[in-house]
Structure 1
Amino acid sequence: MERWVGRVALVTGASAGIGEAITRSLVRHGMIVVACARGVDKIQAMKSELEAESASGKLHPIQCDLTQKDQIAAMFKEIKKEYKVVHVCINNAGISFGAHLVRGKPEDWQTTLDINVMALCICTQNSIKLMLDNKVNDGQIIHLNSMSGHRIVGDGFYCGTKYMVTALTEGLRNELRAMKTNIRVCGISPGVVETEFAPRKARQDPAECTFYQKNPSLKAEDVANQVIHILQQPAHVQIHDILLRPTEQVK
């Protein structure tokens, strides 16, 4: 990870769960992490803790609602002003309302599409522009996909957005190769991970959610470790997608 020390990573959905674990890991490895979320109180609380642990790592919290294109634009304006560039873009933010295709609410579909697909594409596009403008030829894009981007289980609309992420990952790889740049893209597709995702999907108080007690699950740190694995690869190695799930998980 030495070559990434002092370089800039953007992590979306960084206030909890997988995003928080990734943020903590990258700061500890000496990166400057721009961490965004709708609410940044938890990220602000992490800042002094993490910067005390790392001689070179820094944390820059930014409030950003990824369903709002103007807020995404403002975030990248701030990044450009402060750092000029993004070297690593990690599109972690994702959401599911468990919205059915027959009885689901179109507004839930729209929010899911806006966060899982549109924000991912907009953040990717803006990050690559900053990379190219600053002649970064070894940047890395990482999409937090899902096993639901490879098989249909449960929420059909959510699976549809994650199948789009699978297609977008390959589509971006093709475009980057045609541009003759060494910027790489990779997807990480976890199965069940113990985060706030299940209670949020069920609209439950996390203290009342028993989903993870009944289902084998990964830890957020297991996914963060895959981010480090991707970033450690030499320039000639393109990891395209990592599928990981609890050993006991069936589907």
Structure 2
Amino acid sequence: MENWKGKVAIVTGASAGIGAAISLALVKGGMKVVGFARRSERVQQLSTELADQPGKLWAFKADLTKEQDILDGKLWAFKADLTKEQDILDGIKWTTENVGPVSVLINNAGIIQKTTLHDGDTQMWKNVLDTNIMAVAIASREAIRIMNENNIDGYIININSVAGHVVIDMPILNIYSASKFALTSMTETLRFELARLKSNIRVTSLSPGGVNTEIALTNNLMTAEEMKQFEGLARPMLESEDVANAVLYLLSTPLRVQVTELTIRPIREVN
């Protein structure tokens, strides 16, 4: 991590779970972190934990119409909706002008919606695809532009899932797994493009197995009974910090190393 100290990282979905753990780990490593999140109060809570760390956590809100918002404090706990392209564009522009050019982009934000494929809700499908795929594509494009303009050999890490490699029979996944399969393909396609350009910007798909986060219970995605019935949830699970440590490992590799895919699973997971 020595090479990244003082550099700028953007983490999407930084308000809780994996995103919060990654943000905390990067800050402890001396990076300046800009968190893109809709739940600003969560990021504000995280700031208390970061008070004595060598870096700073910054959280960004796309609508910077209030001057006082810009002047208040060292922790920027503002909202960004990643389903809106302009929010992402404004966020990266703000980061460049106020914190510095991005060196590391962690595309972590991802959602699951409580619907189905056989009789599902179209808008819910679109919400998943806009967050899990389109936001990654837009943020990556803009980050690469900034990296190129500033001659930065940056790193883009897409937080994927084992559900992006194997179809899992789980009631709530519906279009989520398809979005993660698309992310697997998109990450590798981006790597090909960067290689053809002789770019030193690296890109990795990081695919965790089961992680002990609140995603399954958020918005009542699963009932308590469904939780009990799903065998995988009764097994050991990863913690968010395990994914954060995997990110630190990737960032610690020398420039000559390109990790295309890193899959981590809890012990004894078989799905």
TM-score normalised by the chain length of structure 1: 0.93
User: C-alpha separation between the residues in 2 aligned to 1:203 and 1:133?
Assistant: 42
- Conserved 8 A contact 2:8-2:100: no
Question: What letter is aligned with 1:7?
Answer: K
Taking the TM superposition and a 5 Å limit, the aligned residue runs for 1:205-220 are 214-220=234-240
Match of 2:63 in 1: none
Question: 1:49 Cα shift?
Answer: 2.9
Question: 1:213 Cα shift?
Answer: 6.2
* Gap change, CA 1:248 and 1:236, over 3 Å in 2: same
Taking the TM superposition and a 5 Å limit, the aligned residue runs for 1:112-127 are 112-127=128-143
User: C-alpha separation between the residues in 1 aligned to 2:94 and 2:222?
Assistant: 35
Match of 1:145 in 2: 160
2:107 is the counterpart of 1:91: yes
2:42 is the counterpart of 1:42: yes
- Identify which range, 150-159 or 222-231, moves more after superposition: 150-159
For structure 2, list consecutive stretches of 5 or more residues without a partner in the other structure.
61-78
**1:18-70: CA deviation from partner (whole Å, max 9, x where unpaired):** 00100000000000000111011121222243131x23x11111120101112
Taking the TM superposition and a 5 Å limit, the aligned residue runs for 1:1-40 are 1-40=1-40
SS at structure 2 position matched to 1:103? coil
- Conserved 8 A contact 1:192-1:217: yes
TM-score normalised by the chain length of structure 2: 0.86
2:171 is the counterpart of 1:173: no
Match of 2:93 in 1: 77
Question: What letter is aligned with 2:87?
Answer: Q
Aligned residues: percent identity? 41
Question: What letter is aligned with 1:61?
Answer: A
User: C-alpha separation between the residues in 1 aligned to 2:176 and 2:233?
Assistant: 23
Match of 1:106 in 2: 122
- Conserved 8 A contact 2:11-2:107: yes
SS at structure 2 position matched to 1:102? coil
Question: 1:98 Cα shift?
Answer: 4.3
Question: What letter is aligned with 2:107?
Answer: N
- Measured on the aligned residues, the alpha-carbon RMSD in Å equals 1.9
- Conserved 8 A contact 2:20-2:46: no
SS at structure 1 position matched to 2:210? coil
Question: 1:209 Cα shift?
Answer: 6.5
Question: 1:83 Cα shift?
Answer: 2.8
User: C-alpha separation between the residues in 1 aligned to 2:21 and 2:96?
Assistant: 25
SS at structure 2 position matched to 1:35? strand
Match of 1:182 in 2: 200
- Number of equivalent positions: 247
For structure 1, list consecutive stretches of 5 or more residues without a partner in the other structure.
none
Question: What letter is aligned with 1:238?
Answer: Q
SS at structure 2 position matched to 1:38? coil
